[in-house]
């Protein structure tokens, strides 16, 4: 990896010098700090790392440098389901996809040659000239799963997760309300949206329901399908 980063720095120098990009020395410092992390970083993450290393730059200058790094292929901008823009190294010839834990936010990169070949094959079957592709798998990482209890309140379900209704813990009024909605023990529930506050939107048997958080706390579900 150090060898690759050395190449990246040399190419950065050549390109930015040839294109007469201003404030080259400052921009090169930003690249060096950026390359020190193998994580997906936000603009604010990078600014904090720069500050820790004694470099204080205007946020607009950092943002402009990141845009230039993306333009010249040294960085890649990603916007996952949470709407946060993150940047990662773009090493030439390296294709990978992402798994994103919707509970802790951990992003895991993975490479699968069979999956790469399948993308090419499917595009070819449809007479489609593929320029690029990206796969993002949303779910719950093994560490978060290991911390879960066998039964959790529906209110703790993650967006897109499919859960099985196991028990109602509320009083008779709550039970009757849920039954009137058509929700039964053993039903498969898909979480459509759950911001952590206010209502949840769920789907059961291709029907959508909005459930208040208090009521969702009284519905115990089993993770997994």
Digit-coded pLDDT (tens) for 110-149: 888 888 888 889 989 999 988 777 788 888 888 988 887 7
The structure's pTM equals 0.67
The strand pair at 85-89 and 75-79 is best described as antiparallel
User: May I ask the CATH class of domain 152-223?
Assistant: mainly beta
Q: Specify binding-site residues for Zn(2+).
A: 101, 104, 141, 144
Are both 2-89 and 152-223 of the same fold? no
The pLDDT of residue 224 is 64
- The CATH classification number of 97-144 equals 3.30.1490.190
Domain ranges of the chain: 2-89, 97-144, 152-223
Pick one of 1.10.3720.10, 3.40.50.12780, 3.40.50.10790, 1.10.10.10 as the CATH number of 2-89: 1.10.10.10
pLDDT reading at 49 higher than 90: yes
Q: Specify binding-site residues for Fe cation.
A: 97, 116, 133
pLDDT reading at 57 higher than 90: yes
pLDDT, the chain, mean: 86
Q: Specify binding-site residues.
A: 97, 101, 104, 116, 133, 141, 144
Convert the pLDDT of each residue in 93-108 to its tens digit.
677 888 988 888 888 8
Q: What is the mean pLDDT of residues 158-168?
A: 88
Beta strand segments in the chain, E: 75-79, 85-89, 97-101, 107-110, 136-139, 152-153, 162-168, 188-194, 200-204, 207-211, 219-223
pLDDT reading at 8 higher than 70: yes
């Amino acid at each position: 990896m150090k060898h690759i980063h050395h190449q990246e720095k040399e190419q950065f120098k050549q390109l930015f010098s040839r294109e007469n990009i201003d404030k080259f020395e400052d921009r090169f410092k930003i690249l060096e700090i950026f390359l020190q992390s193998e994580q997906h970083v936000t603009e604010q993450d990078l600014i904090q790392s720069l500050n820790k290393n004694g470099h204080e730059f205007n946020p607009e200058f950092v943002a402009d440098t990141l845009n230039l790094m993306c333009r010249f292929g040294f960085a890649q901008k990603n916007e996952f389901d949470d709407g946060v823009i993150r940047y990662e190294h773009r090493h030439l010839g390296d294709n990978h996809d992402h798994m994103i834990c919707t509970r802790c936010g951990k992003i895991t990169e993975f490479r699968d040659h069979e999956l790469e070949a399948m993308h090419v094959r499917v595009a070819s079957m449809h007479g489609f000239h593929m320029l690029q592709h990206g796969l993002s798998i949303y779910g719950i990482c093994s560490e978060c799963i290991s911390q879960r209890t066998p039964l959790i309140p529906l209110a703790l379900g993650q967006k897109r997760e499919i859960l099985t209704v196991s028990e109602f813990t509320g009083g008779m009024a709550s039970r009757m309300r849920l039954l009137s909605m058509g929700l039964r023990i053993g039903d498969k529930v898909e979480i459509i949206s759950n911001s952590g506050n206010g209502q949840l939107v769920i789907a059961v048997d291709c029907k959508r329901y909005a459930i208040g958080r208090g009521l969702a706390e009284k519905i115990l579900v089993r993770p997994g399908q």
